[in-house]
Copies of this chain bind each other. A is one copy, B any other.
Amino acid sequence: MTATKRVRLSPEARRAQLIELGVELLATRRLDELSVELIAQSAGISRGLLFHYFSSKQEFHTEVARAAAAEMIRRTEPDTSRPPVEALRGALSAFIDYVEENPDNYKSLVRGAASADLEMRAIFDNTRATMAQRVIDVIAQLGFELSDRADLAVHGWVAYVEECVIRWIDSRRFDREQLLEMLTKSLPAVALSASDDEVGTLVSILTDQKPIEQ
């Protein structure tokens, strides 16, 4: 449409533009639907130019996914200056916000790209690991040492949260506050169901009391 003459940009600017454009297009299409043709047309460049900045469509896709994941991680960063439980609650709240604002974008990522190559999988593993690590840090501040089982449980819990939020958005059978409440409570429940701790410790967490000091 816009048949302007050649527009010459610096490599950094062009590359950044293409990645950002890819992330934006994720709002309406799945990652695997981002064809070279579509990108080029949207950016007003020729198909060939894409390969001047990315060695293949696959690499372009991973860069787009990396940028989108980084954006999500940034948006949901917990406020470590606040008490651990509040920080966790705040991060979960931010996560719900993020998914609510970019539902398609997020689904395109989590459900749409998990397939691809090893590098793509690494991006998602890292993203989940980052989210899990934040939680583990919070738990550590609460005075708990995580066993291997509890560590695995935390990673599983991240998947639990993702699934719950996505499904909740599709149905919305109760309000946001209740979702936030159940997600926050589910973490200590899961983490402790995976440990040998006495039931009393679990209860102290769920009832929001201070953990028993060692």
Contacts and interface: CB of A to CB of B under 8 A. Distances in A.
Interface of A: 30-32, 111-116, 121, 148-149, 152-153, 155-164, 167-168, 171, 173-174, 178-179, 182, 185-186, 188-190, 192-194, 199, 202-203, 206-207
A132 to B, nearest CB: 10
Q: Interface SS of chain A: helix, strand, loop or mixed?
A: helix
A163 B174 contact: no
B114 A111 contact: yes
Contact of A160 (B121, B173, B182, B190): B190
A194 B182 contact: yes
Contacts of A178: 149
A167 B156 contact: yes
A186 B193 contact: yes
A168 B155 CA distance: 10
A176 to B, nearest CB: 12
A98 B152 CA distance: 19
Contacts of A148: 173-174
